[in-house]
Amino acid sequence: MNSFGVKFRFTTFGESHGKAIGCIVDGVPAGLKIDEEFIQSELDKRRPGQNSLTTARKEADRVEILSGVFEGVSTGTPIAMVIFNRDQKSRDYSNIKDIFRPSHADFTYWHKYGIRDYRGGGRSSARETASRVAAGAIAKLILREFNIEIESAIIEIGGAEVDNVDFEYAKESIIRCGDREKEQELIKIIESAKAKHDSVGGAILVRAKGVPIGLGEPVYYKLDSKIADALMSINGAKAVEIGAGIESARLKGSQNNDQISKNGFLTNNSGGILGGISNGDEITAKVWFKPTPSIFQEQQSIDFTAMRFNLTCKDATTHVCIRGSTVC
Amino acid sequence: MNSFGVKFRFTTFGESHGKAIGCIVDGVPAGLKIDEEFIQSELDKRRPGQNSLTTARKEADRVEILSGVFEGVSTGTPIAMVIFNRDQKSRDYSNIKDIFRPSHADFTYWHKYGIRDYRGGGRSSARETASRVAAGAIAKLILREFNIEIESAIIEIGGAEVDNVDFEYAKESIIRCGDREKEQELIKIIESAKAKHDSVGGAILVRAKGVPIGLGEPVYYKLDSKIADALMSINGAKAVEIGAGIESARLKGSQNNDQISKNGFLTNNSGGILGGISNGDEITAKVWFKPTPSIFQEQQSIDFTAMRFNLTCKDATTHVCIRGSTVC
Amino acid sequence: MNSFGVKFRFTTFGESHGKAIGCIVDGVPAGLKIDEEFIQSELDKRRPGQNSLTTARKEADRVEILSGVFEGVSTGTPIAMVIFNRDQKSRDYSNIKDIFRPSHADFTYWHKYGIRDYRGGGRSSARETASRVAAGAIAKLILREFNIEIESAIIEIGGAEVDNVDFEYAKESIIRCGDREKEQELIKIIESAKAKHDSVGGAILVRAKGVPIGLGEPVYYKLDSKIADALMSINGAKAVEIGAGIESARLKGSQNNDQISKNGFLTNNSGGILGGISNGDEITAKVWFKPTPSIFQEQQSIDFTAMRFNLTCKDATTHVCIRGSTVC
Amino acid sequence: MNSFGVKFRFTTFGESHGKAIGCIVDGVPAGLKIDEEFIQSELDKRRPGQNSLTTARKEADRVEILSGVFEGVSTGTPIAMVIFNRDQKSRDYSNIKDIFRPSHADFTYWHKYGIRDYRGGGRSSARETASRVAAGAIAKLILREFNIEIESAIIEIGGAEVDNVDFEYAKESIIRCGDREKEQELIKIIESAKAKHDSVGGAILVRAKGVPIGLGEPVYYKLDSKIADALMSINGAKAVEIGAGIESARLKGSQNNDQISKNGFLTNNSGGILGGISNGDEITAKVWFKPTPSIFQEQQSIDFTAMRFNLTCKDATTHVCIRGSTVC
C-alpha cells in the first residue's frame, strides 16, 4: 500500500534512518524531457534546515535517477529515483526509546508491526515526503506540457491567517508564506513557540491553473475525493477543504452557487470541481496540519512494554511544521 | 471508476431516472447472517420525503438481493443488490433542459461525456448514494461481528452549530440532529430558506466505536486518507476533518498532543488515528456539505450549445440538504 | 475478486441457481451505440441446449440493461446487465448432495467457504460465463468502432484435430467447429462419449484481426499474459498457447523467428505479440479445456463431512464441453 | 504497469544497460527474518554465464537492500532492492542499430514508445527477470514459514523431453535439467544449435508443495489464471499448462477426473487446482519458451525508418534459452 495513482502511479520506499529513500514512477509517457535540475530544485525547496525556524537536521538530499531515462528523455519505462541518506546515524533517542511519544505514530506502528526502530520515525517520518516530492516533480514536468501549473502557499500559522495570497511571493518567502505583510507576524509565532519548546500547526492553499474541463471520474474516483485522499496522506494533515470548503456549508445556495456568464464562472466557491469533475476554473484546495508532536516538554505517556505508566516524555528536539509547499 | 475499496469492494450502477440502481459487493466473508430488514431500514433512513423539510419526491426504495446469499447467509460470492426505480418519469425539466444549472454537475458531465440526460441528475444525482447505503449496510453487518459501531449526527445547519452531540437522539430526530435543544432552531433555518426558495448546507459528525488498534496502511492507504476519500466522494461534500481537524492546526503541540495514561489517551484530538493507523480510540470525522444548488431563484447561466448567454435559470423545485447521515 | 480489466472493467455476480446473474461494465466511453440485439445474440450463441449434444438444460437467457444507456447510446456511466434465472429449481442432487464430485469445484469451495449450496455449481458453474459473454459483447461493440474483430472456432475435440480452420464456417457449425470436413467426426466423438456416460475435452482457437501496433504494457501487463489470465479463468481451461505456442518451443530460432518484409511479417509464430506488445499482425491464442467432470459413472469419492470414505459418486447428468466460442 | 500482485506486490524498474535494475516489494509482513544470502543465491542461480552453453555476458549481480529491513528482520514497510549494472557499456550493436531484429521486442517498443535504446534490449531484456527473482526470493522466505516450497526443472529442450523429473537433481544440473540420464542429450542439442549460430527453446515444470486448501479467488483471481498471468509475463514464454494441461483435453472425463480416497486424491491431473482454488495437492504448471530470437544468421528484416526493406539482420551474439528455473 505504498503506491498512489492509477495511470501515473508512484511507489515509494525508505525509512528516515535507513540506507536510502526513493520511488518508482510508472506511467510516464515516452519522449518527455526529464529536467533533473528541476527535480533537484523541488527537493531543495522541501529540505528542512533552510532557515533557523525549522528542524535543524541538514539533509543534503541528492536525487539520482536509476532508470527510465535515456539521453535526458523518458523512455516510457518506470523511472526509479533514489536519495541516499547521507547521515544514517540517529540522534540519541535513549531517553525516549521505549516510551511512546504522545500523538506520534510510534504508538500505532509498534502495535501494528510489533517492531520498534528506535533510530527515529522510520517510515512515518516526514522524510518519506521527499520521495513524493521527487515523483511530484516528474508529474509537474508532464503537466507543464499541458500548461498546467500547481502552486502553493502558507496561509495560516498558529491560528494567524494571511490577508492576501501571493503565490509568487510564497516562492521566495523563507516560510513559503503567501503574504509579504503578514510574514513577519507568522515567523514571530513560530519563534515564540520554539522558544517555549512548543510547536505550531498551519494551513496551505494549493492552486492548479490551466486544468482542462473533464478530469475526474465519477463516482469513486472524483477529482476532489482523490485530492482529499492525497492531501490527507501527508504527515500531520488533519483537514482538507475544496474551494470555499467549510465556508460553503455556511452560505445559502443562492450565495454559494457559481453563476455562469459567457466569460466563465462569476465565482469559484466550488474550487473548480463540479460532480467530481474539473470545470475548467482554477482548482483550489486547503490542507490543514496539526503542530508537530515532537516537543521538548514534559508529557504524560506509557512505555511500550505496557509495564510502566504515567511516565513523562520529552522529545529530543523541537520541531515546527512549515516545510514548504507539499510537505509537513 | 465506480468501485470503492480493496478487500471489501463495492461497485455501483444506476441513474436517477433509469430502470434501476444498485451495487455488487465483493469480499464479504462466507457465513455472515445477512439481515435484509436491516439493509432495508438503512435505506429507509436515507429516503427523501420523510418529512416536510426535504425533497418532496417519495422514493419507496425496496432493495432486492440477487446473489451471494443462500438461506439467509452469505456464501463468499459477490452480493448483488438492486433497487428498481418505481417512478422513472422525470419532472418537467423543459424550462431548464438546455441550460446549465449553476454549481450543478450537468456542466461538467456534458463537457466530459457529450451527452445530456434531460430527465434529471443521472449518475451525479444524490440517488446514487442509495447504492452505497446498501453496500454500507452489509459493511455494518460485518463490523457488528467485531463490535464495531458507526454512528452519525447532524452538527451544523446553515451556520448554526449544535452544542452537544447525542448520537442516540440523532437516530430519532427528524433531521438526524444530534442535539435535542438545538433541533428546532435548525429546523427553522431550513424552513426559512425553503420559504425563500433557497437552500442551506451543513455538517455531519461520524464516529466509529470499537475499532481495534492497527487498521490503515502506510503510506498511501492511511485510514484517515481513505476516510477523506470516501467522505469527499459524497455528493456536495466540500470539506473533511479528522478528529479536531482545523482546530488542531490552531493549537500548540503541547495542547494538541493526546497524552497517554494507563487508562488510555487523555484526549482524542487525533480522532483515533496516528500515522494513518487506528490507535484504538474512537475514530471521529466531520464532513461538510454545500447547500444543494437546486434552487427556485433566478440565476445567471449559459446554455449548453454555448450560443445563448446570460440566461437566467430557475430550478424546478426547492431542495434542502439534510437527507440523513450518509448522504446529502 | 470478481472484476476483470482496468480501463474497461467488468464485475460479475450470480450463482447458477440463484435469482439472477449479471455484471456491471465500467469504462465504456459515452456515445457508443449499444446494440441490444447483438448482446442478446452473443448470449444465444453461448446458450446450452441448442443441440442434442450438449447439456440438456434450456436456459432462455434474456439480458436486461439496467443503467448506463440512454436512448440507445452509452452515457459513460456503468452499464449494468442482469439475466434472471427463469428456472431456479435445481435438479435432484440428493444422491450426491453430501459427496464431493471428483474434479469438481465443490471440494475447494466447501473447504474455502464452509458452505455448500446443494442446488448446483453455484458460482463455479459455467453459467457464470454468461455474464462475461454479455460484458464481452459490449467490448466487441467498442472494438467494432476500431475495426477490430474477434473470432473463434473449435479446433480439437477428444484428441481429434481439425485440418483447417474456417472461422466463417464455425459461426454456423452446430458445435462451432472450424472445419466442415471434420465436423461429423468430432460430433461422433461427442456422441460416443455421451453414450458411454462420459465426457470429452477440446480446444478453441481465438483470433483478433485489426489490432493496431502497441497494445499491451510491459512488463506485468503484457498483452499475452493478460490473454492467458483471461482464458485460464474460464471454467475447465487447463492450457493457453500464444501464437505457435508449444510448437515454437520445439523449433530452432531460425525457424521460429518471424522475418519481416516491406509487406509485413513473413510468418506469425509469435501470434501477433512481441515483448508483450501487439505487433500489428493477427493475435492468435489457443485455449484447452478438460472434459467436464460431471459424468454418470461410478467414481470413488468422499463426503464433505469427511466421515464416509470410498463412496462412489455418479453425477446426475451427462455433459460435454462445447458450449461455443468463449465458454466451456 | 510494472507491478505484480495485490497483497504481496512488487514493482520493478531498470533497463539492461542503464545504471541499475531493482524492485520494491510491498506487503511483506513485519518480523520475517530476511536472509540476504538466500536472496543472493537465488540471483546467482539466475545469472547467465555460469557455463559455456548460455549467454556469455558475466553479470556479477550483487543485490543491495535499501529499506524495509532493520537488524535483519522485515519491518512491514516496503523492501527496496537494487542491483547496479556493473558493466553499462553495451556491445557493439552498430550493425543492427537501425534494423528491427526478427521476433525481438525492439519492433513493438519502437512503435509504441517512439524511442530506440540502441544499447540493448532495455526493459524487454531478460535482465528484467533478475528483479523478479529478487522479489521472488522474498516471497519464498515468506512461504518457507508455511512450509510451502517451490521447485522447478527443465523438462524439454529443442523438442527432446526428459523421461523423469528429479527436482533435487535439477538444482545441481548445469542446465537445471530434471533428468540425470537425459542431461547430456539436452546439452548436445544446445551445443549443436550454438555451433550452427542457432537457438533452441524448451519447457520448465514448476511444482509447489505444501500449499494449503483454499488459495485463489473466484472468478477473476483464480490461482491458475494468476499463475498463467505470471508465467506468461516471462520473456519468451509462449504457453502455460496447469496440471496435465493439454493432455487433460485429450482424455475422457472418466480418465481425467481425480478421484478421491480417504488418503487424498488418487491422481493429480488438475495440478492441485479446482475451480481456481488450491485443493491441497501439489500445484504443478509447465511453461514453454520459444528459442531466443537473437541468432547470428542472416534474416530478412526492415529498418525502423521504414525506408529500407529486405535488409538482412545478423544478431551480434548467439543465445540459448536455459537460464534456470524462473527466467528465460
- Predicted pLDDT of residue D322: 36
Judged against a pLDDT cut of 90, whether residue A92 lies above it is answered with no
Per-residue pLDDT, B303: 83
Q: Tell me if B217 sits within 8 A of B5, measured CB to CB.
A: no
Percent of chain C beyond pLDDT 90?
Answer: 72
In this predicted structure, what is the pLDDT of residue A95? 58
- From A218, which residue of chain C is nearest by alpha-carbon distance? C77
C-alpha–C-alpha distance, residues A70 and D18, integer Å: 8
Query: Each residue of C259-272: pLDDT tens digit?
Result: 998 889 999 999 99
User: Subunits touching B (CB < 8 Å, at least 3 pairs)?
Assistant: A, C, D
pLDDT higher than 50, residue B328: no
| Integer Cα distance of A105 and A123 in angstroms | 10
pLDDT at C69: 96
Measured between beta carbons, the chain D residues lying within 8 angstroms of B218 are 77
The secondary structure of C23-45, three-state, reads EEEECCCCCCECCHHHHHHHHHH
DSSP H/E element including D205: strand D202-209
| Contact call for C274 and D104, based on CB within 8 A | yes
Q: Above 80 in pLDDT, residue B323?
A: no
pLDDT (mean) for C223-252:
98
Half-sphere exposure of B272 (CA within 13 A, CB side): 20
Mean pLDDT for the stretch of residues C148-174: 96
Taking the CA atoms of residue A25, residue A26, residue A32 and residue A36 in that order, the dihedral angle to the nearest 10 degrees is: 10
With an 8 Å Cβ cutoff, are A11 and D31 in contact? no
Which residue type occupies C126?
Answer: A
Q: Which chains touch C (3 or more CB pairs under 8 A)?
A: A, B, D
Residues in chain D within 8 Å Cβ distance of A105: none
pLDDT greater than 50 at residue A321:
no
> Which of A99, A256, A263, A328 is best to mutate for the B interface (most B CBs within 10 A)?
A256
CA distance B66 to chain D (A): 17
Residues from chain D that touch A1, judged by Cβ atoms under 8 A, are 26-27
Tell me which of A26, A113, A238 to substitute to probe the interface with B (most B C-beta atoms closer than 10 Å).
Answer: A238
Residue in chain D lying closest to B218 (CA): D77
Q: What digits encode the pLDDT tens for the residues C182-208?
A: 999 999 999 999 999 999 999 999 999
Place B322 in a pLDDT band, splitting at 50, 70 and 90: very low
Mean per-residue pLDDT for C308-328?
A: 48
Interchain pair B117, C30: CB under 8 A: no
Residue A5, min C-alpha distance to chain C (Å): 13
Q: Which residue of A has its CA nearest to B226?
A: A229
Give B285's contacts in chain A (Cβ within 8 Å). none
Interface contact flag, B27 C117, Cβ < 8 Å? no
List the single residue in A11, A65, A115 with the smallest CB-CB distance to D30.
Answer: A115
Chain D environment of B77 (Cβ under 8 Å): 218
Lowest mean pLDDT: which of A276-285, C150-159, C304-313, D301-310?
C304-313
Contact list in A for residue B262 (CB cut-off 8 A) is 302, 309-310
Please judge whether C80 and B31 are an interchain contact, meaning their C-beta atoms are less than 8 angstroms apart: no
Query: Scanning every residue of chain C, which has its alpha carbon at the shortest distance from the alpha carbon of D297?
Result: C254
Cβ distance A291 to B226 less than 8 Å, yes or no, reads: no
The pTM of this model reads 0.92
How far is Cα of residue C307 from the mean position of the Cα atoms in its chain? 36
Q: Give the mutation candidate from A232, A294, A309 for the B interface (greatest B CB count, under 10 A).
A: A232
pLDDT at C304 over 80: no
Q: What tens digit of pLDDT does each residue of B264-317 get? A: 999 999 999 999 999 999 999 999 999 999 898 989 988 877 666 666 667 644
Taking CB atoms and an 8 Å limit, are A123 and B299 in contact across chains?
A: no
Q: Which residue is closest to B79 within chain C, CA to CA? A: C13
Q: Does C254 contact D198 at a Cβ distance shorter than 8 Å?
A: yes
CB contact under 8 A, D2 and A112: no
Q: Which three-class secondary structure state does DSSP give residue C264?
A: strand
**Contact assessment for residue D315 and residue D198, using Cβ atoms and an 8 Å cutoff:** no
Residue-wise pLDDT for C16-62, tens only, equals 889 999 999 999 999 999 999 999 999 998 877 666 665 545 557 89
* Mean model confidence pLDDT for chain C: 89
Q: Distance (Å) from the C-alpha of residue B151 to the closest C-alpha of chain C?
A: 29
pLDDT at residue B91 tops 60? no
Of residues B105, B221, B256, nearest to A277 (C-beta): B105
pLDDT of residue C246: 98
Task: Name the residue among B1, B30, B123 with its Cβ closest to that of C113.
Answer: B30
- Given a cut of 50, the residues of chain D with pLDDT beneath it are 56, 317-328
Chain D residues closer than 8 Å to C310 by CB: 261-262
Of C19, C67, C115, the CB nearest to B14: C67
- Pick from C275, C290, C310: which is nearest to D256 by CB? C290
- Chain A interface test: which of D1, D8, D63, D67 (most A C-beta within 10 Å): D67
Alpha-carbon distance D166 to nearest alpha carbon in chain C (angstroms): 21
pLDDT for D317: 47
Residue B6: list chain D partners with CB under 8 A.
Answer: 6
Give mean pLDDT, residues A257-276. 95
Across the range C85-96, mean pLDDT stands at 63
Residue B24: closest C-alpha in chain C = C13
Find chain B residues with C-beta within 8 A of C115's C-beta: 30-31, 70, 73, 75-76
* Chain A nearest-CA residue for D29: A113
* pLDDT, tens only, B98-125: 788 899 998 999 999 988 766 667 888 8
With beta carbons under 8 A apart, name residues in chain A contacting D66: 13-14, 18-20, 22, 82
What is the number of CB-based contacts under 8 A between chain A and chain C?
3
Given a cut of 60, whether residue C105 has pLDDT beyond it is yes
Chains in contact with D via at least 3 Cβ–Cβ pairs below 8 Å: A, B, C
Q: What is the 3-state secondary structure (H, E, C) of chain B?
A: CCEECCCCEEEEECCCCCCEEEEEEECCCCCCECCHHHHHHHHHHHCCCCCCCCCCCCCCCCEEECCCEECCEECCCCEEEEEECCCCCCCCCHHHCCECCCCCCHHHHHHHHCCCCCCCCHHHCHHHHHHHHHHHHHHHHHHHHCCCEEEEEEEEECCEECCCCCHHHHHHCCCCECCCCCHHHHHHHHHHHHHCCCCECEEEEEEEECCCCCCCECCCECHHHHHHHHHHCCCCEEEEEECCCHHHHCCEHHHHCCCEECCEECCCCCCCEECCEECCCCEEEEEEECCCCCCCCCCEECECCCCCCCEECCCCCCCCCCCCCCCC
| D90 vs D93: CA distance, rounded Å | 8
CB-based contact C151:C193 (threshold 8 Å): no
Grid cell locating A238? 488533519
How close, in Å, is residue D48 to chain C by CA atoms? 19
Using a CB-CB distance cutoff of 8 angstroms, which residues of chain D are in contact with residue A18? 66-68, 70
Question: Rounded to an integer, what distance in angstroms lies between the CA atom of residue A252 and that of residue B201?
Answer: 7
pLDDT band at residue B1, thresholds of 50, 70 and 90? Answer: confident
The answer, yes or no, to whether residue C324 has pLDDT greater than 70, is no
Do C65 and B114 lie within an 8 Å CB cutoff?
A: no
Nearest to D290 by CA among D229, D234, D233, D238: D238
Separation CA D180–CA B137 (nearest Å): 61
Are C4 and C63 contacting, i.e. CB atoms less than 8 angstroms apart? no
> In chain D, which residues touch B (CB < 8 A)?
6, 77, 218
Neighbours of A149 (CB within 10 A): 14
